[in-house]
Chain A
């Protein structure tokens, strides 16, 4: 340090003296910066610094805006401005000048300009658009350095919308003779891939070219892209495995030029990258893993322990070996490696060793056992990071036997940790372990108390939610439930009596809910005592208003008897004038319910959480309110799709950003939900009458889709136990005590044999035996499994799948209560499925309707077949179009008319024949027939009288359509009792959701007076859609060429992995789209509007919805098509 200070002192004067030298423009400018810096270093307070910098900024501002400032001076000013920005002072006035500098300066000034831009701006900054032209120019420059600068700035940030403008130029650079340009171009493309993957889809083959580049540097750069793409979709790149293996083999074998060596290790960073790619490719894939065993073995062997960087390679190797399909030889070597890491004196390696152990311990618990003494030592390591990593490892090996020791260690750490992040993380883990392995009620409640008090307000909100859910749902035995709740109540009462001031708000909320719900379980507890404790909480200054409303709800449940009522009155008087509306509402509820005990018993029945809560999802209790509002002149509610439909028809502005709004009642409901986990909150949240809710009720099921338990036990357990069960079958060995087990494992054990050991050593060994109990050989895994089954207390009842973790909703689960003694999860699962099927039957929806659908579909086909007329390729299309028809078609007419269809149209799918109009005995009907490349409108004119109709003239016209007659000579007369068929071919001029043909037919009856009738025929745009077969590459080029687009989120058909395929298939079948390719979560679809107007669709699964992006050269086509997609999915 001292020598640096010395250098500082000597450098400053010399810099200052340089200032006076004439002609040294560059140095004098630096010294201005020097002055500034010297000024700053001399300052003593933050305030002075602020003043100085502000002064500096003002002077910079003056100079940059002066017209006399040269580019050279500007460059220097920019450096100073970036310095100020780095210190956290805004210099936004200089942004535009930085862009100007990048634009106009010479190469050197340009560089500073680009640098300043990349430090000042971000991707979304509007000024960045001004840079696009500069980048464009520099990319075309012959000066390599300018090209490099442009590529660098592009990879740092570039406006997403402008990517198409420079993409071709960047692509071109992939063929540049200079490797550094190719390399930077690859990374720029990687950036594009990250921010707009669909825009670079068409250049995937160029990525491959980069991967095969003769320069290893370019190849290395391309691995960034591949790593990302393989991460997203490992299936798509399995063919690369062999190439990656070959590359790695060459690198490991030292085939690269010496330049790539780092401390005589060949291209270590490249090796790391390759190993990561291999582990992604080989995961869960035996045959692919097979290919890489050899090279992994070689990498392990070659990486001699001589430098830090070889450890990096080894670590990556080990991780890869444990990720891919296991091979015992390699696993053994990898385990040895991990051992070396853990035992190493170098602390970084120890850290990585622990990380590796944590990673592999679930597959191989023996490994942890081998290193148990090291792990114990790490627990007391002075480095907190090592300590925490150790706890993470212990968390992974926790079982019912060692849970108390491990949780104790974790809580110990929690008490000394000051870091919010660590606290949040560990608290969650403790809560999970406590819930999963708690040995008894007391321990569980006490541990959770510590969790709540230590975790305080930084812990995840689902910890208290899940705890309350556990309490309220109960377990298999009623007696156990009662004991647990009673213990919780007692413990909370004593906590409150001891002074609640220090307790965090979340804990107080939990306490008040439990007291409100279960304090009656404790016989010796007087409700008045609880009430007074609660009202003390209300008076406390530290209690937040959210907590206060929890307390008020609890009081509402408890205000019994005279004493209770008087307390309630007092409290509600205080809070009914509160400024907080939620509090005021609770106070009102308290006031009313405390006076009317009968009402209270109905609204807040004791043990309410056990009762099935019926939620009226149709909100029928609001009917009265709605009809009143309607009568008062309110606008009727329209569902979103209807609104969209109207919008599409009106061609109004796209209001997408504000598209989906919730009905008011729903949003107010959610506010209520958040407040308190009681029945009351639901009822009061809904704007309607609260009593009505509990009585009425249509369907008993709640919509719980999308609500997930974040760390629910069931999922975790089911995975574990299935493994354990198989283990049980394989090795039916008897239970062994931990000490015996230690004996048995001594062959693996590296710890010194317990000869007379010093005291602390013994302590450690004791700790070890308590920590690693139940780990180790196969048989002890089984032991762990068994004890798990018997010891786990808090096994949740069998429930319908999809129960939410939400606080207030509780689905009806009283249908089946499983025999309490049966502990097999399999059995529970069975019950689960029973429940689901029962529920399914109860709700008159899914399966029956499905079969009905099928039968109707079949029916249509049957009719068509027996009547030997048009066989419908696609019944759904027919039904689709049927919706459009103004009237229900007359079936018999349909049949007899359909036989008149022109021969060339039979066999194609067609709509039902719709009556258009009739005049006396003359009947007009029409249908449209979908050919592969055409759409024909067929008009049937039926004359049912004896007399002929003459001088007939049929004219069709349409705003949106081009109508041309197919028949050569127009029909002029219709004989009596006969049918004349006119055929027109239609193409779309202007897309619209529904297109309409208007027609006028004039004719002369036998009577002699001229007559005319008008009619119109509507057909959906979907009938003009045909598949467009393109390759992915063609799709890519087309995509960029099209200007009109629209984006929308659609609902997915299913929630599982195949949802994209399923949804796209529905669209494909219903709308005749062509699915070009499905890659992972994304799919591309192409279609054309007759005759040849393309429309491209890009679909992507995003947060449970299908994000669809349509592009087309035709203005309204994307909008109309999205509407039909929506309809198709809704009707499905």
Chain B
């Protein structure tokens, strides 16, 4: 199971945090800090797996991360997930973001954090991988965006009517 998905930048500023298991507010912040601490001191040419955070789940728990330009994407998973599988899932996630935002950068994540969450929700649901096919994810997200647009349109037209 995926316990948490964290995105933070090179300075440790969180850009997205999604926990699939309940921790209290302070623990969550601590996990983000500890994870950043663990991940940021890793060199470029080392493996993408990390073991041994004390906070989530102890020995059964693993961090799988990827570093893109200014951002770290970290998945905290237990032993029931395949390491390489998750590593590619991160790739799928980032590629999907790239498609949805057209050349994604850190700012997109900041200003459209709700959209990022929605994309994530189509990939991972309740800590379980739901969809790994990028096109399928984009179709779902697009369907929702269409609804958004039509709603905005209705909203604007009603305003004009007044």
* B94 sits at the interface (CB 8 A): no
- Flag whether A985 is at the interface (Cβ < 8 A): no
**Measured between alpha carbons, how far is A386 from B47 in the docked complex, in Å?**
8
Contact of A347 among B18, B46, B70, B87 (CB under 8 A): B46
Contact (Cβ within 8 A) B49 A351: yes
Q: How far is the CA of A108 from the CA of B53 in the complex (A)?
A: 38
User: A37–B110 contact, CB under 8 A?
Assistant: yes
For the complex formed, measure the closest distance between the CB of A158 and the CB atoms of chain B, giving whole angstroms.
10
Given contacts A347-B45, A419-B52, A262 and B132 within 8 Å (CB-CB)? yes
Chain A neighbourhood of B135, CB < 8 A: 259
The docked-state distance in angstroms from the alpha carbon of A388 to that of B118 is 38
Known A82-B113, A107-B147, A108-B147: A316·B16 in contact at CB below 8 Å? no
Find chain B residues with CB under 8 A from A124 CB: 22
When the two chains form their complex, are residues A315 and B84 in contact, meaning their CB atoms are under 8 A apart? yes
Alpha-carbon distance between A420 and B53 when the two chains are bound, in angstroms: 9
Interface mask (A188-227 → B, CB under 8 Å = 1, otherwise 0): 1011000000000000000000000000010001001001
Taking the closest CB of chain A, its distance from the CB of B60, in whole angstroms, is 12
The reply on A1 being an interface residue by CB < 8 A is yes
Residue of A nearest to B103 (CB): A7
Given that A112-B114, A421-B52 are known contacts, is A309 also in contact with B88, CB under 8 Å in the complex? yes
Residue in chain B with minimal CB distance to A315:
B84
Whether a CB of chain B sits under 8 angstroms from the CB of A343 is no
B117 within 8 A of A: yes
Q: Tell me the dominant secondary structure on chain A's binding face.
A: helix
| Residues in A neighbouring B144, C-beta threshold 8 A | 111, 145
A-side interface residues, number (CB < 8 Å): 75
Which of the candidate stretches A179-187, A446-454, A880-888 sits at the interface with the other chain?
A179-187
Cβ of B136 within 8 Å of any chain A Cβ, yes or no, is yes
Q: Chain A residues near B85 (CB, 8 Å)?
A: 268-269, 272, 309, 312
> A156-186: contact bitstring with B at CB < 8 Å (1 yes, 0 no)?
1100000000000000000000001001100
8 Å CB interface, A411-437 against B: 419-422, 425
B25 CB within 8 Å of chain A: yes
Tell me if B98 is interfacial: C-beta within 8 Å of chain A.
Answer: no
Distance (whole angstroms) from the CB of B95 to the closest CB of chain A: 11
Closest CB of chain B to A725's CB: distance in Å? Answer: 32
Contact A1 B70 (CB under 8 A): yes
CB-CB contacts below 8 Å: A860-888 with B: none
1/0 per residue B113-133: CB within 8 Å of A?
110011001000110111111
Chain A residues 341-391 with CB under 8 Å of chain B are 347-348, 350-352, 382-383, 385-386, 388
Q: Between A and B, how many residue pairs show CB distances below 8 Å?
A: 164
- The answer, among A1, A37, A187, A422, for a CB contact under 8 Å with B128, is A187
**Contact indicator per residue, chain B 16-60, by CB within 8 Å of chain A (1) or not (0):** 111010100100110000000000000101111111111000110
CA distance A115 to B119 in the complex (A): 12
CB <8 Å contact, B46 and A383: yes
Q: How far is the CA of A383 from the CA of B144 in the complex (A)?
A: 44
On chain A, the residues within 8 Å of B17 by CB distance are 86
Tell me the bound Cα distance from A119 to B132 in angstroms.
23
Contacts of A315 in B (CB 8 A): 82-84
Residues on the A chain within 8 Å of B148, using CB: 108
Closest Cβ neighbor of B134 among chain A residues: A262
Which B residue's beta carbon lies closest to that of A265? B88
Q: Does the CB pair B105–A7 fall under 8 Å?
A: yes
State A915–B2 Cα separation when bound (angstroms): 68
Stretch at the interface among A26-34, A553-561, A689-697, A749-757: A26-34
A243 CA / B147 CA spacing, docked (Å):
40
Contact between chains at A26 and B152 (CB < 8 Å): yes
In Å, the complex CA distance between A950 and B68 comes to: 104
Q: Which residue of the partner chain, among B69, B83, B126, B140, contacts A352 with CB atoms under 8 Å?
A: B83
Known: A111-B118, A115-B118, A155-B126. A348 touches B84 (CB 8 A): yes
Most buried by A among B17, B43, B125, B132: B125
Query: Is A87 close to B, CB under 8 A?
Result: yes
- B91 to nearest A CB, angstroms? 8
B130–A221 CB distance below 8 A: yes
A231's nearest neighbour on chain B, judged by CB, is B80
A478: Cβ under 8 A from any B Cβ: no
A88 interface contact, C-beta 8 A: yes
Docked-complex contact B114 and A316, CB < 8 angstroms:
no
User: Can you list 30 A-B contacts with CB-CB less than 8 angstroms, sorted by A residue number?
Assistant: A4-B105, A4-B106, A8-B107, A23-B156, A72-B155, A82-B114, A86-B16, A112-B114, A115-B121, A123-B22, A145-B147, A155-B125, A156-B126, A157-B22, A180-B140, A217-B136, A259-B136, A268-B85, A272-B85, A276-B82, A312-B83, A348-B49, A348-B84, A351-B47, A385-B50, A386-B46, A386-B47, A421-B52, A421-B54, A425-B59
Q: A33-B111, A276-B82 are in contact. List 19 more A-B contacts (CB 8 A).
A: A4-B70, A82-B114, A86-B113, A111-B118, A119-B117, A152-B121, A157-B22, A191-B126, A217-B136, A262-B133, A268-B132, A269-B82, A269-B132, A383-B47, A385-B51, A388-B51, A421-B58, A425-B52, A425-B59
Q: Which residues of B contact A (CB under 8 A)?
A: 10, 14, 16-18, 20, 22, 25, 28-29, 43, 45-54, 58-59, 69-70, 80, 82-85, 87-89, 92, 105-107, 110-111, 113-114, 117-118, 121, 125-126, 128-133, 135-136, 140, 143-144, 147-148, 151-152, 155-156
**Which 4 residue pairs are nearest across A and B when measured between Cβ atoms?**
A155-B126, A312-B84, A421-B52, A122-B22
Interface residues of A (CB under 8 A from B): 1, 4, 7-8, 11, 15, 23, 26, 30, 33-34, 37, 72, 79, 82-83, 85-88, 90, 106-108, 111-112, 115, 119, 122-124, 145, 152, 155-157, 180, 183-184, 187-188, 190-191, 217, 221, 224, 227, 259-260, 262, 268-269, 272, 276, 308-309, 311-312, 315-316, 347-348, 350-352, 382-383, 385-386, 388, 419-422, 425
